[in-house]
Amino acid sequence: MTAFIGSLSIVVFLVGFVCLIYPIRAIGIPTRKMAGIIMAMAFVVLVIAVISDGPATDNTETDALQSSERIVVSDQENPPQVSVKENEVDEVAEAVIDRNSLTEKSSAWNVHTYQIVENEDISSIDRFRRMVKVVAPTAVTREDRIATLMDAAKGIWQAHSVEYITLFLLPFPTGPAVAKIDFAPDKCGISGEDCTGKIWTSATASKLVFTPEERRLYLAWENNKERFKEMNVEFGFEVVNDQKLRVFLSEQFESTPDDISTTLIRLQVEAIYQDSVEIPPELAHLENLNEEEQARANAIACRSDLQCWGDRLTLRDIETCADQIEKLARYDHEWTDGIFGTKFSRFRWKDRRDGTLTYVGDEIKFQNAYGAWIPHTYFCDYDPGKRTVLGVHATPGRL
């Protein structure tokens, strides 16, 4: 029962953390303050569950763990070596820094080498957005972590036509986020309506630096979760049996389940509770875009605006569409727009994410087999970015 309460507390804690970043009114957590209260309550319940659970386990459970066929932690006695997933290259392991060596670390804003491990499109109907995670094991100060994220944001923005990027920095792949920043070149935040006048917002970072032993423990915990999942009959889905996982890790790391749990909770809490980082005056120039960057920002903004993007249709593009529409006539056709008329009176999105449009008009007649002229409404699917006609079709009648 205590294992279930502990698992449920972790789930509630993580939900509270998500709402601390983006409050979700639909589940009853409309403010960050409420999310913080929920996280605190979940943490207290989790600690009580851990204490009441205790280190005691019966021999049957221990024997079952020892007989498991697939072991992720190797059997070397001192120190235990944890297998690392394929994307965790040797450079990451070598870059782990002893926490004791950081006391004299300079607070200069230095950009460190980083690796993008996740780049997800989280666009909404009205705004092009991305969520990015980068690994920078040598960035250990809060200032360096934010500086590295700022550099990554500019690079990702150059590669993707987006209006908003939220970035997280990890100390190693599969590790917890220890820094975060939001980047909006148009200074209008995640929604496009919260125009604060700032390109960079929500810059937060933790001082947490993993020791080599803590890193091995955290990786072992992450890499072994799947093999300790069990079906929860009450909820109808699999959950991690934290008690068995703690016992397993305590044997591998020559510790106790309580100590394992305490260490993991401390690392997670230190990673989650991040302090705000103020961008210093010497980096104030980053709040403004240079001429080339401003032109790019304007182009991206135009692409997301239907009127601006639709107005890119040139006379040559109109004639290209018209030629394709004329070919729809089975017998003969006749344009009715006159010399000063317009063939396309309306346009709409075909696929906003792809930036494609559909232009619509009704200034044509098609002749049928009996010689009668039938007015038609026609549609031209068009890609303004590539100046390409994607397809045309027509239906009898006018708009």
pLDDT of res. 54: 46
pLDDT of res. 217: 92
CATH number (3.10.310.90, 3.10.200.10, 3.40.190.80, 1.10.3720.10) of 85-206+274-304 reads: 3.10.310.90
Least confident range of 32-46, 98-112, 231-245, 350-364:
98-112
Q: Tens digit of pLDDT for each residue in 135-154?
A: 999 999 999 999 999 989 98
Q: Which residues pair with 366 in a beta bridge?
A: 333, 374
Residue 38 has pLDDT above 80, yes or no: no
Which is higher by pLDDT, 73 or 128?
128
pLDDT of res. 374: 93
SS3 content of the chain, % helix, strand, coil (to 5): 40, 20, 40
Which is higher by pLDDT, 209 or 195?
209
Residue 179 has pLDDT above 50, yes or no: yes
Long-range pairs for 91-97 at CB < 8 Å and ≥24 separation?
A: 91/137, 92/135, 92/137, 92/172, 92/173, 95/137, 95/138, 96/137, 96/172, 96/210, 96/211, 96/212, 96/215, 97/137, 97/138, 97/140, 97/209
pLDDT of res. 159: 81
Which is higher by pLDDT, 122 or 339?
122
Residue 27 has pLDDT above 50, yes or no: yes
Q: Give the pLDDT band (50/70/90) at residue 10.
A: confident
Residue 169 has pLDDT above 80, yes or no: yes
Residue 79 has pLDDT above 60, yes or no: no
Which regions of 206-296 does DSSP assign to beta strands (E)?
229-232, 237-240, 275-276
158, burial (CB in 10 Å: exposed 0-12, middle 13-18, buried 19+): exposed
Q: Tens digit of pLDDT for each residue in 318-337?
A: 888 999 999 999 999 999 98
Q: Tens digit of pLDDT for each residue in 383-398?
A: 887 888 899 999 999 8
Give the domain ranges of the chain. Answer: 85-206+274-304, 307-396
By C-alpha distance, which of 83, 205, 72 is closest to 136?
205
Which is higher by pLDDT, 16 or 164?
164
Q: Tens digit of pLDDT for each residue in 50-63?
A: 555 544 333 333 33
Which is higher by pLDDT, 373 or 198?
373
